Amino acid sequence: MAANPGEIAKRLFEGVMGPLVLGGALRPGHAIGARAALALGGDGTMDGLDASLFDRVQTARVRRARMLTPVDTVDLPAPPEWAMAAALHDVLQSANPSLDAALRRKAAARILELAHQTLERVPPPAHAGDALSRHTWFARVLDVAREDTSVSWWTGSRVFRGVPPPGRLKAWPNLRRVNVVTTPRPLLELEPLAVDREKLAEAVTLLLARTPLTDLATCARTAPPFAWSEGTLALVGTRAGRTLALRALARVAVTWVDVALGRATRELLTHKRATAAPAIALLAERTLALAQTAPGSLGGRPDGAFARGLGAAAALRMLRAEDSEWPEDERRRLIRVLESAARTDAVREAAAMLEGAS
């Protein structure tokens, strides 16, 4: 029996999409499935939504977008965004600890598989505005964490996963020697897990690939590791997309961005050298911006040296090009700064790889 799309949309919006933007508790409900997910966003989908909540969510999305670009409005959720949200809903539900039981693990795996299927059918963003719109929905997707509460008392203990412990267990804390420890567990560190952890990570990676601006903005994450995808390369291949990406990266610690981008770009140059030009352009512009505003930050951790070196080598090539549009004085100053920062083995290695790439 297929559920009404309006009801699913209402449940999805109030349980996942709204809190994902506004913060608070995400309450995934019954699994949605690929067919229903891809059917969302049509006529009547939004009829049953709470208007007040919707307005607050749209305002928060504008605030999120204005961190990167001065827009005053954001579009209504598009069908791909509904589908991605529904897929996220199912990914979260597949990690439900109650499914980690005999005869139920298959159901969890099936839900995750359908979420994967949904995400595969979501098209990449058509333009930078589309990427920005998706980013306003999923910017905090990696912040989702389940609070596991361990309650111990004089005669026993219990763990409550994702639900608050009942008050009776916390009563008379001194007499019963009650000890309550709450541990936040990020999505990819949940346990017990009814599904294969790698498949869960794959689903999250696929979701990030469908929102490339979020993928780049969270490149300093620990898991899943950042890697250049078609979506991110396509985004930074455009002028507007690159600007958005640079602004998003500027909000993250320089060192961690260098490490993540350096590792991903080295891999890209090794395996898909032909597609690396947008990534190199991004690094070059980023290094130029640093050389112009904060030359001292061109140092940093050694494992970030590759990204800086590659960016410096590419930036030097841009500055030395005959059609360079930089003012002459500024161009010479930047070349001096970059050359002084580019006397390392990492930079020479990067320059050699860059020569090979061109």
Partner 1 sequence: MNPVLERIALHQTRLHTPGLGLDAKGVALGAKGLVLLPSIDRLVAFLAVYTRERSLEDLMPSLVMHVVRSKLGTREITLEVAAESSDRMDRLADTARLVGGFAFTGTSRHFVQYRDAAAPFGYDATELLSTDAALLLYHDRFSQTYDVERPIGLRPLLLRLMPHVDPSTKDEPGLRILVAEQGLGPALVHYLVRSRVEGDVGVAEWPPESAFDDAPVRRWVLRVPELPDRMRQLVHGTPGITAFVPVGPGVAVEAGYRHPIELRACPVFEAAGLVLVRGRGDEPWAIAKLPPMGALSAFARVELRATGGEASVATGAAPAETVRVPLRVTPSSGPWRNVTATWVAPEQLPLLRKLAYALPHATVAQARIAVTTRGAFVRSAAGIEAVPLGTFFVEVHPGLYVPAGHEVTPAVAPEVLARALAAPASQVLFLTTQGRAITVEDGAFVPLETALLEAPPWEPVVAEAIERALDEEPLRLEVTSAGMMPLRGVEPQQG
Q: 34 vs 203, which CB is nearer to partner 1?
A: 34
Between 93 and 133, name the residue whose CB sits nearer to partner 1: 93
Distance CA 314, CA 280 (A): 7
Min dist CB 96 to partner 1, Å, is: 5
Q: Minimum distance from CB of 102 to partner 1 (Å)?
A: 14
Q: How far apart are CA 182 and CA 171, in angstroms?
A: 17
Q: How far is the CB of 195 from partner 1 (least distance, A)?
A: 12
Residue 115 vs 347, nearer CB to partner 1: 115
Calculate helix-pair angle for 277-293, 254-271, nearest 10 degrees: 150
The smaller minimum CB distance to partner 1, of residues 79 and 295, is found at 79
Separation CA 223–CA 204 (nearest Å) = 9
Q: How far is the CB of 181 from partner 1 (least distance, A)?
A: 16
Q: How far is the CB of 144 from partner 1 (least distance, A)?
A: 5
Of 31 and 245, the one with the shorter C-beta distance to partner 1 is 31
Contact positions vs partner 1 (CB under 8 A): 1-3, 19-20, 22-36, 38, 63, 92-93, 95-99, 104, 107-108, 110-111, 114, 117-118, 121, 140, 143-147, 161-163, 184, 187
Q: Which residues of 199-209 are buried (b: 16+ CB within 10 A; e: fewer)?
A: bbeebbbbbbb
- Please report the sign of the dihedral spanned by the C-alpha atoms of residue 50, residue 75, residue 127, residue 260: negative
- Cα separation values, 192 from 100, 103, 152, 187, Å: 7, 16, 20, 12
Paired strand residues for 228 = none
